[in-house]
Amino acid sequence: MKLFVKYISIVLAIYLLSLVLNTIYIGSFGALLIMGMVLLLVNLILKPILMLITLPVNLLTLGLFSFVVNAWTIMIADYFVENISMGGFINSLLAAFIIAILNGLFKDRD
């Protein structure tokens, strides 16, 4: 269930950002769903490795550098999915913030 909530927040965040920013291009709804799945896989496989490599910088910035790592994972997923363009690092960083906010809103409060 956690993965499904994360997937929905990823897809929703990218879609909402594409409505607000004209630099984010989504070619089709299918491409958006594939982008969500690829980003979820990148987060599961590569993100722990990137977080371990950037641990000293992350400690110095009190965890704020993790948003940069999230932006990198979005850019990596963007590279592998055709028909979607995130428009660069700043848009990916903004998407990382929005995804974190949506994850916090959708999270179960047990």
Residue 42 confidence (pLDDT): 95
Q: How far apart (Å, rounded) are the C-alpha atoms in residues 103 and 56?
A: 25
pLDDT classification of 108: cutoffs 50, 70, 90: low
Per-position b or e across 43-74, b if 16+ CB within 10 A of its CB: beeebeebeeebeeebeeeeeebbbbbbbbbb
pTM for this entry: 0.88
Give the whole-angstrom CA distance, residue 110 versus residue 107: 9
24-81 pLDDT, tens per residue? 999 999 999 999 999 999 999 999 999 999 999 999 999 999 999 999 999 999 999 9
